[in-house]
Amino acid sequence: MIGRPRITDLVFDALSRLRRPIVPTAVAVLVLFAGTTAVFGTTGIALASQQRTLVRLNSPQGRLITITDAQGTAGLSAESVAAVSGLSGVEWAAGIGPATDAGNVNLPSAVTVPARFFYGDLPPVIRASTDAGRGQALTGPGLATTLRLGDGVGAISSRIQSAVVVGSFVADDPLTALNHNVLVRGTTDEGRLLTLWVSAQNIAGLPALRDAVSATVIADQPASLRIDTADELASLSEGVITDMARAAQLTISGLLVAVTILVSAVQFGRVAGMARDIGRRRALGASQSLIVTQVLAHAGLCGLLGTTLGVATGLALSAVIAHSLPPASFCTGVAVLMMLAALAGALPPAIRAARLDPVRILRVP
């Protein structure tokens, strides 16, 4: 005999008191379940949507910096491709010159298609059937047929250049506009660019890279260049995230306060209903701290059940409504906060239970 309960006995007692009486347990579990689900139903889904938006923003389109010599007066040098490729945070860089009409050398009167000089290595968004060397050309989808090139290869000529067609390519987003062109690998780096594309390794580095690219490009009149990026979208997204974080804080705080109050009310009711049991336990040797522990254990177990069910339901809701799941840190954070709310709510009734006067409870008038 050690004069105090063993841990295993305490656990068994707490578990047995979940079932009887069932009503306060069910209500406490329901409160925690509803609170957790509500957090997921509001903030969790918003967070999942935000995550999906960030993934979209981090797409090749979102990470692209486009420098355009729109008026053709800036004198953007093809050497810029090599210059910006060496910048930190660049995934790839490529440039194209202005378009000229090109046709099949062997069929001078046949249809012509736009041909452009292409500078830099082919980026990952352009899939080529073969590698084209300097002066060699690749046709966009279907253009070999348009040019009536047997087996997709042959020779083309334009006003300024003749080139051997060695294969074809397919450009994906964001360079799909190139699919209507024949791309001729630039023979030197001394040509002029109409457009220079620079892809950042991630969207977070986009604003800094934009500044670096702007300072690095080689042009006669850099001021005439137009630089387009998705960083405005990124900053808009950042603003949305900030607003959302504030709203989430308010929502979660409100729900935590509500859960704490409701759990407190449930536990006060439970303690009042168990007054004789508490008085008897005190007489049989339960200390005040043991009574506090037992009330908190019940609240903790209810919290565990309610929060687990709530997180599971919340994740399912997020998957169905937002087609995305909130981050694991959010799920853990919500579960921990709800558990703390359950324990905090149970603390005042637990102290009240410990202070019940067993003599007044047990005496029969």
Partner 1 sequence: MLIEAEALEHRYSPRTEIVISQFSHRFAPGTLTGVTGSSGSGKSTLLYVLALLLTPSGGTIRWDGVDVSSLRDAQRSRLRAMHVGFVFQDAVLDLSQTVEANVLEAAWLAGIPANEARSQARALMTRFGVAGRAHVLPGEVSGGQAQRIALCRALVKGPSIIFADEPTGNLDDESAGIVWSALAEAADEGATVIVATHDTERAHHLPHVLRLPQ
Residue 152 lies near partner 1 (rule: CB under 8 A): no
Question: How far is CA 198 from each of CA 42, 52, 133, 228, 260, rounded to the nearest angstrom?
Answer: 38, 24, 21, 11, 53
Q: How far, in Å, CA of 121 to CA of 275, rounded? A: 81
Q: Which is nearer to partner 1, 177 or 359 (CB)?
A: 359
By the 8 A CB rule, do 99 and 181 touch? yes
Task: Out of 53, 280, 308, 315, point to the residue binding partner 1 (CB under 8 A).
Answer: 280
Q: Which stretch binds partner 1 (CB under 8 A): 10-18, 187-195, 207-215, 242-250?
A: 10-18
Q: What is the 3-state secondary structure (H, E, C) of 174-229?
A: CCHHHHHCEEEECCCCCCECCEEEEEECCHHHHHHHHHHHHHHCCECCHHHCEEEC
User: Considering CB under 8 A, how many residues would be counted as binding partner 1?
Assistant: 32
Q: Which residues contact residue 250 at a Cβ distance below 8 angstroms, ignoring those fewer than 6 apart?
A: none
State the nearest-atom distance from the C-beta of 297 to partner 1, in Å.
14
Residue 292 lies near partner 1 (rule: CB under 8 A): no
State the nearest-atom distance from the C-beta of 348 to partner 1, in Å.
19
Task: Out of 88, 108, 159, 284, point to the residue binding partner 1 (CB under 8 A).
Answer: 284
Question: How far is CA 195 from each of CA 99, 229, 274, rounded to the nearest angstrom?
Answer: 11, 13, 79
Task: Out of 66, 287, 313, 324, point to the residue binding partner 1 (CB under 8 A).
Answer: 287
Question: How far is CA 149 from each of CA 141, 234, 354, rounded to the nearest angstrom?
Answer: 13, 45, 93
Residue 159 lies near partner 1 (rule: CB under 8 A): no
What x/- string results for residues 229 through 268 when contact with partner 1 is judged by CB under 8 A?
Answer: ----------------------------------------
The residue count of the chain comes to: 365
State the nearest-atom distance from the C-beta of 360 to partner 1, in Å.
9
By the 8 A CB rule, do 230 and 62 touch? yes
Q: DSSP letters along 120-159, please? A: SSPPTTEEESS---TTEEEEPTTHHHHTT-GGG-EEEEES
Instruction: Judge residue 106's burial from the number of C-beta atoms within 10 Å of its C-beta, 0-12 exposed, 13-18 middle, 19 or more buried.
Output: middle
Pick out residues in 11-70 that bind partner 1 (CB under 8 A): 13, 16-17, 20-21
Q: Which is nearer to partner 1, 261 or 359 (CB)?
A: 359
State the nearest-atom distance from the C-beta of 240 to partner 1, in Å.
52
State the nearest-atom distance from the C-beta of 263 to partner 1, in Å.
21
Task: Out of 116, 210, 270, 282, point to the residue binding partner 1 (CB under 8 A).
Answer: 282
Q: Which stretch binds partner 1 (CB under 8 A): 46-54, 86-94, 185-193, 276-284?
A: 276-284
Pick out residues in 298-337 that bind partner 1 (CB under 8 A): none
Q: Which is nearer to partner 1, 134 or 276 (CB)?
A: 276
Q: How far, in Å, CA of 317 to CA of 49, rounded? A: 12
Task: Out of 70, 283, 316, 319, point to the residue binding partner 1 (CB under 8 A).
Answer: 283
Binding stretches for partner 1 (CB under 8 A) = 1-6, 8-9, 13, 16-17, 20-21, 276-277, 279-290, 358-359, 362-364
